[in-house]
Amino acid sequence: MASFLAAAERGMGWLSAEGRLSQETSDEALCRRVAAGDEAAFDVLVARHQGRAYRLAWSLLRDAEDARDLSQEAFLRVYRTAATFRGEAKFSTWFYRILVNLCLDHRRRSRWWRRLAGSQDPDGGDPLERHAAPGRDPAEALGQAQLTARVWAEVARLSPQQRAAVILHVQEELPTSEVAAVLACSEATVRVHLHRAVNALRRTLKRG
């Protein structure tokens, strides 16, 4: 556990009491080893999932500090509750359910949405929009940035469950069945969330 942050940055295999871990070791096998007290297995899980966990948390919260705090809290919960993972779903589904629930609980506790329109990622905006295509016309780039900001603002007005469904399905590219598992709802409910979200976004674009 002491090597949590340092090991997470290395992105490579580590030795454990049971032998060498490799990048081919499945997440599910690693989680079982974490449950048995193998801290090196925990370090590998962190290294694999920390980038995507932060991106997901930031997309839900739009606050860099909160995203870091809650993604780390999600990993700590994995460490403490690994024994409860029964393998009925993929490890990633189980982990993202923990993370999404933490983010939704945080949103319910705070009045973040009143600050959302003025919030900015201190690292330079949406992490998914940092790498612009070379040679783009500046006016075109500005128009695209304005459109992206409007879409994000509209997504921010969705209900917490709808926003989570959109981010998991569109940004994280999870199938609707896995989104349903993460959100602990039916696949039909996920499809309703997505349908309503798409309609809301279309209204925004038409106002364009």
DSSP label at residue 170:
I
Q: Identify the pLDDT of residue 183.
A: 93
Q: What is the pLDDT along the chain (208 residues), one digit of tens a residue?
A: 544 444 443 433 334 344 466 667 899 999 999 999 999 999 999 999 999 999 999 989 888 999 999 999 999 999 999 999 998 889 999 999 999 999 999 888 765 444 444 444 444 444 333 333 344 455 555 556 676 677 777 777 788 888 899 899 988 889 999 999 999 999 999 999 898 888 877 876 676 5
Q: Which of 99, 3, 34, 32 is nearest to 60 (CA)?
A: 99
Q: Identify the pLDDT of residue 7.
A: 42
Q: State both tokens at 94.
A: 């189980």
Give pTM, 2 decimals.
0.68
CB of 71 within 8 A of CB of 53?
yes
CB of 42 within 8 A of CB of 78?
yes
For residue 104, what is the enclosing H or E element?
Answer: helix 91-109
How far apart CA 39 and CA 120 sit, in angstroms, is 35
Q: Go through 177-190 and write b for each residue having 16 or more CB atoms within 10 A of its CB, e for each that does not.
A: ebbbbbbeeeeebb
How far apart CA 101 and CA 163 sit, in angstroms, is 13
- List Cβ neighbours of 196 (8 Å cut-off, separation of 6 or more): 158, 162
Three-state DSSP class for 92?
helix
Q: Identify the pLDDT of residue 9.
A: 39
Q: Identify the pLDDT of residue 140.
A: 55
Chain length of the chain: 208
Q: Which domains does the chain have, with CATH numbers?
A: 1-114 (1.10.1740.10), 138-208 (1.10.10.10)
Q: Go through 137-167 and write b for each residue having 16 or more CB atoms within 10 A of its CB, e for each that does not.
A: eeeeeeeeeeeeeeebebbeebebbbbbbbb
Q: State both tokens at 115.
A: 């600050």
